[in-house]
C-alpha cells in the first residue's frame, strides 16, 4: 500500500519513535510546528476520522492514552498541549492515515484560522 505512515510502521521509512505498543505508534513530526510535535497513529491503516468504525473505539481510546503518556514523558502535561486531527482537504489533511498531532512546548495561538 502506498501509505507513508504504513511504511513508517513497517520500518521501511525511518522515524524518531517516541512511543510504541501493540496497536499504536508515535514519532516526531518531520516538520515540527512547535518544540514538541509528535504524531500518534494506529498501526491499523484507517484513512481518516470519517473511516473510524464503532469497533475501533478501544483503538481511539489507546491513541488518547498514548497522548497522555507522551505529554507526560516530554514534560508538557502540566504546561499544556494541543491534540489535533485534520480531516480531508478543508481540514488540512495531507497524509491519509489517521493521526493525531500532539503539539506543545510553547504558548499556542488561536485554534481557528
Which residues participate in catalysis according to the annotation?
99
Which residue is it, cell 512546548? Answer: 105
Contact flags string 36-75 toward ligand 5GP, x per CB under 6 A:
---x------------------------------------
Does residue 87 touch ligand 5GP according to CB under 6 A?
A: no
Does residue 6 touch Zn ion according to CB under 5 A?
A: yes
Which residues partner with 20 through β-bridges?
25
b/e 5-35 (16+ beta carbons within 10 angstroms → b): bbebbeeeeebeebbeeeebbbbebeeeebe
Q: Write out the residues near ligand 5GP by the rule CB under 6 A.
A: 4, 13, 15, 27-31, 39, 86, 92-95
Amino acid at each position: 500500500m502506498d501509505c507513508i505512515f504504513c511504511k513508517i510502521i513497517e520500518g521501511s521509512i525511518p522515524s524518531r519513535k517516541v512511543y510504541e505498543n501493540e496497536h499504536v505508534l508515535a514519532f516526531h513530526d518531520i516538520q515540527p510546528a512547535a518544540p514538541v510535535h509528535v504524531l500518534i497513529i494506529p498501526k491499523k491503516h484507517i484513512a481518516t476520522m470519517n473511516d473510524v468504525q464503532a469497533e475501533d473505539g478501544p483503538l481511539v481510546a489507546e491513541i488518547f492514552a498514548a497522548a497522555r503518556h507522551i505529554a507526560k514523558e516530554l514534560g508538557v502535561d502540566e504546561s499544556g498541549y494541543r491534540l489535533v486531527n485534520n480531516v480531508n482537504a478543508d481540514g488540512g489533511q495531507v497524509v491519509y492515515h489517521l493521526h493525531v498531532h500532539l503539539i506543545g512546548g510553547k504558548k499556542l495561538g488561536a485554534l481557528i484560522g
